[in-house]
A and B are shown apart, each in its own frame.
Chain A
Amino acid sequence: MNEFDADNLELNVTRMLDGELSDTERDELGRRLLRVPADHRLKDTTAAVDALAGEALREAFGGNQNARCGRGMIDFTRPRRRYGMGGAVVAAAAILIVGVACLAWPGLFGIGEPASVGHLGTVPDTEEGGDASAEPIPAGAEELIWQVWDAQAKSHSAGAADESVPLPPVPGPRDVIRQVDRQLYRVYDDQSQAVYLLGVDRVRTSVRALGEDL
């Protein structure tokens, strides 16, 4: 097996583990793994290591495979539409913004200690009136984190990671409600001795005609 073949095999194993192979590709890979025991072993070891690391990450963040869409973890379900009584139209748009910030702040999370990866928690925020610029003001340590995040972190904000549903036109006076559910995760980088923050915002925006019951 040459180097290209080896890379190609590993790439296909990786894509298989992530559910990114087509049926044809999966069948082809399956046949190859049956033919070549060494490749099969490589696949088994990769899968086992991947499962171990994934499990460790999920456990550190307080969730498990079966509870991935639960309150403690990140819910990436598709945007939902709700239709209220009497023809009132409400649309919910879920937009995810994921930022990864590098904070050189030794000591904040016990850097160097084994339990250096964890979940910082959820910062729910509800705004009414459609002001999209306001940020929640969390208390305690999280407040400090946000100050650093906002002021000096090397932050990368991503665009929406899920489709957003355009709000329906609602004639006349209306309420725009924006709900932000922010979850923070921290991951310790051994090499740079920095803590990375992963912030996930779930933003739901709904609009309703004034005076309508939901």
Chain B
Amino acid sequence: MAEDQGHRKIELAEAHQRALLAVGKLPETYRQAFVLRHLADFSYLQIAETMDIPANSVGSLLLRARRLLREELGEETKP
């Protein structure tokens, strides 16, 4: 039981590591938007102001970021 938990912990840590590397590979603007969304919990409007871009572009940036992350990490999330 404890061993299983240990394995799960290691697997999760490895998954996090791969996720961080995948975020690091994102193109700059995608990564900025993604980091501001997740770490700063910014709304689209706040991200737009911070990055000095139109508010309606933020959704597209995050869409593309998530699309790339899905391509990179999709397998990680399969049960």
A residues near B (Cβ < 8 Å) are 7, 10-11, 14-15, 17-18, 20, 45-46, 48-50, 52-61, 68, 73-74, 76, 98, 100, 114-117, 156, 158-159, 161-162, 185, 187-191, 196, 198, 200
Contacts and interface: CB of A to CB of B under 8 A. Distances in A.
Contacts of A10: 63, 66-67
Nearest to A19: B43
29 contacts: A7-B63, A10-B63, A10-B66, A11-B63, A14-B62, A14-B63, A18-B37, A18-B44, A18-B62, A20-B44, A20-B59, A46-B70, A52-B15, A52-B16, A55-B16, A57-B23, A59-B16, A61-B39, A68-B41, A98-B40, A116-B24, A117-B23, A158-B49, A159-B49, A161-B46, A185-B35, A189-B28, A190-B25, A196-B31
A53 B23 contact: yes
Contact residues of A: prevailing secondary structure: mixed
Contacts, number: 126
Given A10-B63, A50-B66, A158-B49, 13 more contacts: A14-B59, A14-B63, A46-B66, A52-B73, A55-B19, A56-B16, A57-B23, A76-B41, A115-B17, A158-B50, A158-B52, A187-B23, A198-B39
Given A20-B44, A114-B21, A161-B49, A49 B63 contact: no
Contacts of B32: 100
A11 B20 contact: no
Given A11-B59, A52-B16, A53-B73, A58 B23 contact: no
Interface in B42-79: 42-44, 46, 49-52, 59-60, 62-63, 66-67, 69-70, 73-74, 76-77
Contacts of A100: 32
